Structure 1
């Protein structure tokens, strides 16, 4: 099994938790880590500052396209970041657990 992590951000806790729960229910992800942080970025010609909730999703590479497309559909941002991070090393026990969760 080839594990990947997917990183995205949300505007608030409620949105992050609602979308994350849907992804878990759809078995597109096996686990998520959510953390609030300060964000600074360019938007429409000026520097903005806000709080965001960052999400790291753990899943298997075969779920990538459906996860990406589902995030694009559900995401409230006009231009969301949806970044795939390929992992080349993963402990066997975690990999086996992921397989049981995602593929039954």
Structure 2
């Protein structure tokens, strides 16, 4: 099992939950952690400051391309961040649980 974390952000709780539920239904992820935070960023030549919901999505590397494509399709942002973080180490128990959920 090659576990990865995928990070993205959403404009609000409703869109984050909606997209995450769809990813779970399609078995593209095993879990998501959502957290509200402040975001400061450049957009159309000015600095914006908004609340966003960050999503840490846990999955397996073989799901990466489909997950990325589905996120691009469903995401409410014009230019979402969809970043992949490869995990070097993961405890066996969690890895086994991920395999059962994703490939069961």
Instruction: Give yes or no for TM over 0.5.
Output: yes
Output the CA distance in 2 between the equivalents of 1:78 and 1:93: 38
Alignment TM-score, normalising by the size of structure 1:
0.99
Report the alpha carbon displacement of residue 63 of structure 1 after superposing the two structures with TM: 0.1
SS in 1 for 2:73: helix
Q: For 1:1-104, what aligned pairs fall within 5 Å after superposition?
A: 1-104=1-104
Coordinate RMSD, CA, aligned: 0.3
Which stretches of structure 1, 4 residues or longer, exceed 3 Å deviation after superposition?
Answer: none
Structure 2 gap ranges (5+): none
Report the alpha carbon displacement of residue 9 of structure 1 after superposing the two structures with TM: 0.1
Report the alpha carbon displacement of residue 101 of structure 1 after superposing the two structures with TM: 0.4
Q: Deviations over 1:22-43 (max 9, x none)?
A: 0000000000000000000000
SS in 2 for 1:66: helix
SS in 2 for 1:78: coil
State the aligned residue count.
104
Output the CA distance in 2 between the equivalents of 1:76 and 1:15: 7
